[in-house]
Amino acid sequence: MSVRTNRPRRRLLTATAAVFAAGALVASCTSNEPEEENEPAAETGGEAPSGGNDEPGETVVIGFSGPEADHGWLAAVNDSAIAEAESYDDVELRTAEATNDANLQISQIETFINEGVDAIVLLPTDGAQLTEVATRAMEAGIPVVNVDREFSTPFAARTTILGDNYGMGVSAGTYACGLIEENGIADPVIAEIAGIDSLPLTQDRSQGFADALEACGQTVDNRVAAEFTVESGEEQASNLLQAAPQIDIIWNHDDDQGVGVKQAFDNAGRDEFFFIGGAGSANAMRWIQDGEMEATILYPPTQAADGIRLARLLAQNKGMSDLVQVEVPRRIVLNAPVVNADNVEQYLPLAFES
């Protein structure tokens, strides 16, 4: 089965331009414009670049704690952090056992505090529940780098590094608008397969998608929510297909649950729509190469690796040499570019396995 794709080579639309046109761009959202002519910089661990801040310095001890890798994206997050630390001779990484138990993660951070590590990189199981212990680490003079799931107060972290959930939705919606225009689709039927609706990240992705669609006069016609799992993806996609006999564009928030979503498409023999994914899994990128998927929107799994780099700079009292104001920023939001047939070869080496 080959899901409908747009064959002509086309310009990758920028999310920022569309939302500016709609007047909906919020100040905290970064640009989602992909770089067409330049290959993306490698974001995974490997040999540390030479020169500047990457020259070896005083050895620092960094504690890292993240959730259990029960999801391909989370496994990639953990792996990239470890690989990044190994690329530096002056970093000693102490990795806590991955867990989805907030109380256990709290005890892990308490251990790091008692050991007097130089910095902590923390992707919390629950940002609110880990806020108090992270604040204690900061009060003890240990800089905390908060990854992906935000704490309840800015006092709990020296630096926060995030993927752009709202930007993912903007990129997906802007790209959908481009498909509608380029293919002359009249009265398009647009569907959305979200993740867990109670999570702010899902709400942000859906809001960004809706805002970008509004820019071209469109709305979501059919929507279901899954649970970021293969099983839930297949179940909810099947429900969606039964409810909508004709669909022109489907955006699925998460490529891990997309394995089940794709299975539902195959089972139903449905291929009349453009299929857009989210996160940037290797499966999704191979489907793009094979013409079975139109595009996916990146949600970088390298956030913890970037966290390791920033923690090293903070612990060594270094700044960011590429900035005029050299100090490490308090908040960094990563880009959410579109990956399609035009640039998939560039991004596939950075993809994670579901």
Tens of pLDDT, residue by residue over 243-296, are 999 999 999 999 999 999 999 999 999 999 999 999 999 999 999 999 999 999
pLDDT in tens, 300-343: 999 999 999 999 999 999 998 888 888 999 999 999 999 999 99
pLDDT(181) > 80 = yes
Distance CA 320, CA 74 (A): 27
Which pair of tokens denotes residue 117? 């590590």
**Confidence tier at 32 by pLDDT (50, 70, 90):** very low
What's residue 49's pLDDT? 42
What's residue 4's pLDDT? 57
Across the chain, mean pLDDT equals: 88
Q: What are phi and psi of 148, to 5 degrees?
A: 70, -50
What's residue 164's pLDDT? 97
Task: Average the pLDDT over 22-40 and give the result.
Answer: 35
What's residue 3's pLDDT? 52
Residue 81 burial (C-beta neighbours within 10 Å; 0-12, 13-18, 19+): buried
pLDDT in tens, 198-225: 988 999 999 999 999 999 999 999 999 9
How many H-runs (helices) and E-runs (strands) does the chain carry?
Answer: 11, 12
Task: Average the pLDDT over 27-54 and give the result.
Answer: 43
What's residue 288's pLDDT? 98
Task: Average the pLDDT over 179-186 and give the result.
Answer: 97
CATH number of the domain located at residue range(s) 15-27+164-299+339-350 in this protein: 3.40.50.2300
Question: Cα 226 to chain center, whole Å?
Answer: 17
pLDDT(23) > 90 = no
Closest-CA residue to 31 (of 12, 16, 19)? 16
3-class DSSP assignment, residue 277: strand
Closest-CA residue to 252 (of 281, 272, 215)? 281
Please, are residues 99 and 84 in contact by the beta-carbon 8 Å criterion?
no
**Confidence tier at 31 by pLDDT (50, 70, 90):** very low
pLDDT(20) > 80 = no
What's residue 71's pLDDT? 82
119-122 vs 159-162, strand pairing mode: unpaired
Within this chain, domains 15-27+164-299+339-350 and 52-163+301-318 share the same CATH topology: yes
Domain-wise residue ranges, the chain: 15-27+164-299+339-350, 52-163+301-318
Task: Average the pLDDT over 54-67 and give the result.
Answer: 94
pLDDT(6) > 50 = no
3-class DSSP assignment, residue 275: strand
**CATH superfamily, with its number, for domain 52-163+301-318:** Response regulator (3.40.50.2300)
DSSP assignment of 90-137 equals TEEEEEPPP-S-HHHHHHHHHHHHHHT-SEEEE--SSHHHHHHHHHHH
Q: 285-290 contacts: CB < 8 A, separation 24 or more?
A: 285/339, 285/344, 285/347, 285/348, 285/351, 286/348, 287/3, 287/262, 288/339, 288/340, 288/341, 288/344, 289/341, 289/344, 289/348, 290/2
pLDDT(73) > 60 = yes
* Phi-psi region at 249: left, alpha or beta (left = phi > 0; alpha = psi -120 to 50): beta
Task: Average the pLDDT over 2-21 and give the result.
Answer: 40
Please, are residues 224 and 194 in contact by the beta-carbon 8 Å criterion?
yes
pLDDT in tens, 80-113: 999 999 999 999 999 999 999 999 999 999 999 9
Distance CA 188, CA 179 (A): 10
Q: Which residues is 159 bridged to in the sheet?
A: 145
**Confidence tier at 40 by pLDDT (50, 70, 90):** very low
Task: Average the pLDDT over 11-21 and give the result.
Answer: 37
